[in-house]
A and B are shown apart, each in its own frame.
Chain A
Amino acid sequence: GIQVEQSPPDLILQEGANSTLRCNFSDSVNNLQWFHQNPWGQLINLFYIPSGTKQNGRLSATTVATERYSLLYISSSQTTDSGVYFCAVGRSNTGNQFYFGTGTSLTVIP
């Protein structure tokens, strides 16, 4: 399968700070999503971004598929951003199952 590494594993931020989360993957993919798992365990879609750059409010993401990495930017962090951020990748010729990274655990303190 495809190996997915996320960094950093843990991150503590002061409210208002900015951060960059990284996702490296070991093979070519045509599907990549970023998720936020909130403290209640729900997985929330952030971005479907197999390539290029997208922005949604304080969040943006960039995927450079040729170099096999994606970045998630969080600006002006809020306490509600706390939780675990997962990157998941897939490839349609392998059934498009997602391979998940182990996540970045983010804690935003007031």
Chain B
Amino acid sequence: NAGVMQNPRHLVRRRGQEARLRCSPMKGHSHVYWYRQLPEEGLKFMVYLQKENIIDESGMPKERFSAEFPKEGPSILRIQQVVRGDSAAYFCASSPLREETQYFGPGTRLLVL
């Protein structure tokens, strides 16, 4: 059973460009979570999704950030008009049920020049 997959593993963008981060949950998992880790800090929750639904986006910045988890395909975290402060590691996690353990992907390291 493959683990949580994220791609790309590294992404470099110039200020003002768009960043698209993809997450494929583990097989059989229908809950996806996105977290952001700034340098030298712990992870901070961004958004929790189920298939075709955003359940909780309380940790998501109000502007430029959006997330989706379509019926088919991976979950996408989209950052429009990136700024240097968006440079961070973005982790995706999945779980089969709300109370179950979360399994984390390897992360996408975003660098904004």
Q: Which residues of A does B touch, CB under 8 Å? A: 4, 30-31, 33, 35, 41-43, 45, 48, 86, 88, 92, 94-103
- In the bound complex, residues from chain B placing their C-beta under 8 Å from that of A95 are 48, 55-56, 58, 98
- Min CB–CB distance A73 → chain B (angstroms): 20
Are the CB atoms of B99 and A92 closer together than 8 Å? Answer: yes
Q: Which residues of B does A touch, CB under 8 Å? A: 31, 33, 35, 41-45, 48, 55-56, 58-59, 89, 91, 93, 95, 98-104, 106-107, 109
Are the CB atoms of B41 and A102 closer together than 8 Å? Answer: yes
A98–B43 alpha-carbon span in the complex (Å)? 9
A101–B37 alpha-carbon span in the complex (Å)? 12
A41–B93 alpha-carbon span in the complex (Å)? 15
- In the bound complex, residues from chain A placing their C-beta under 8 Å from that of B99 are 30-31, 92, 96
Are the CB atoms of A96 and B98 closer together than 8 Å? Answer: yes
- In the bound complex, residues from chain A placing their C-beta under 8 Å from that of B59 are 97
- In the bound complex, residues from chain B placing their C-beta under 8 Å from that of A102 are 41-42
- In the bound complex, residues from chain A placing their C-beta under 8 Å from that of B45 are 97-99
A94–B37 alpha-carbon span in the complex (Å)? 21
- In the bound complex, residues from chain A placing their C-beta under 8 Å from that of B33 are 97-98
A99–B107 alpha-carbon span in the complex (Å)? 17
**Among A35, A41, A86, A95, which residue has the most Cβ atoms of chain B within 10 A?**
A95
B46 nearest in chain A by CB position: A97
A33 contact from B35, B44, B89, B102, Cβ within 8 A? B102
Are the CB atoms of B48 and A96 closer together than 8 Å? Answer: yes
Known pairs A41-B106, A97-B59, A102-B42; list 10 more (Cβ under 8 Å): A4-B42, A43-B104, A43-B107, A45-B101, A86-B42, A92-B99, A96-B95, A97-B33, A97-B48, A100-B35
- Min CB–CB distance A28 → chain B (angstroms): 14
Asked, given contacts A41-B89, A41-B107, A95-B56, whether A86 binds B43 with beta carbons under 8 Å apart, the answer is: yes
